[in-house]
Amino acid sequence: MPSVPKKVEERIREVLKRFSPILISQRDRDVSEADTVTVVKDLLSDLFGYDKYAEVTSEHAIRGTYCDLAIKLDGKLRFLLEVKSIGLQLNEKHIRQAVDYAANQGLDWVVLTNGIRWMLFQVSFKKPIEAKMVAEFDLLAVDLKSEADLEKIYLITKEGVLKGAVVEFTEKQSATSKYLIGAVLLNDQDVLNAIRRELRKLTDILVEPSVIAEVLRAEIIKREVMEGDEAIHFERRVTKGNRKLKEETAQVAATQADDVKPSSPDLGSANVS
């Protein structure tokens, strides 16, 4: 996972200690969305490290409507923030609204927050538009000693955005995706053969890889891991990887075979009697 710079860690710890009473007070008073936006702007500045006058844009226009806030760095729009009042429970309707704003703007990233709960989404431009929640944290529940909690906050800090921390984070998430691991177990011949060898060691019986795959599919791996768009995506990815590996192996074998071929005698250099 992304490593949080020491300076950023210290800032997060100091600011959260200072802002926690403010957030609790605002929540207990059930302040309006406008007042929540004011608090969020302060957090974007003090906690997340942005210049709230130069890098935080209010009421960003998107096709005739407005998203509450947007982050711009070096003149480039990085992500949008949709803010709801601090006492509101964020729900699917709010998520869809935030995702629609990002999709209409052509942005990959959007944050939904009520000042306390923060949700970071990655938008996929498919038909229909899809969004995956990459990280979520509650500023009143953050464990300041937990690297995992600090890393989630770091993803949307100015330093994290400039270093592409969220890309690294999502790549590592993908590498341990249940869908990818499921696809490898079911479709990677080397993995199935490895299981086959271990079973033979234990039982002295040689089980066909197809039988092992069927047991995995029917009795071990959850159905949700084998169905849906993500499962199909990773199955194709594993199959493509296997095919590429076979092609590369065949090319190496062909090259090695050419290298060991006996050379033909040079007839031109033979002595003529």
What pLDDT is attached to residue 130?
83
Band of residue 22 on the pLDDT scale cut at 50, 70, 90:
very high
pLDDT value at residue 264: 52
Per-residue pLDDT, 270: 46
Q: How confident is residue 269, by pLDDT bands cut at 50, 70 and 90? A: very low
The string of pLDDT tens digits covering residues 96-106 is: 999 988 888 88
Asked whether the whole model's pTM tops 0.85, one would answer no
Supply the Cα-derived Rg of the chain in whole angstroms.
Answer: 27
Gap between the Cα atoms of 226 and 204, Å rounded:
30
Q: Specify the higher pLDDT residue, 260 or 235.
A: 235
The alpha-helical segments, DSSP class H, found in 106-156 are: 147-154
What dihedral angle (degrees, nearest 10) is formed by the CA atoms of 55, 56, 62, 65? -160
Q: Identify any residues that bridge with 118 across adjacent strands, giving them in sequence order.
A: 113, 137
Burial 251-268 (b: 16+ CB within 10 A, else e): eeeeeeeeeeeeeeeeee
Residue bearing the bigger pLDDT, 42 or 179: 42
pLDDT for the residue 258 = 65
74, HSE (Cβ side, Cα atoms, 13 Å)? 3
More confident residue, 48 or 182: 48
Residue 253: per-residue pLDDT: 67
**pLDDT, tens only, 61-111:** 665 566 789 999 988 999 999 999 999 999 999 999 999 888 888 889 999
* Domain segments of the chain as ranges: 6-163, 178-254
| Mean pLDDT of the chain, nearest integer | 86
Q: Name which residue leads in pLDDT, 189 or 157.
A: 157
The fraction of the chain above a pLDDT of 90, given in percent, is 56
* Residue 179 pLDDT greater than 50, yes or no: yes
DSSP character string of 141-177:
T--TT-HHHHHHHHTTSHHHHHTTHHHHHHHHHHHT-
Rounded Cα distance, 55 and 74, in Å:
9
pLDDT: which is higher, 238 or 221: 221
Domain spanning 6-163 has what CATH number?
Answer: 3.90.1570
pLDDT of 228 strictly over 90 = no
Cis ω before 128 (30° cut-off from 0):
yes
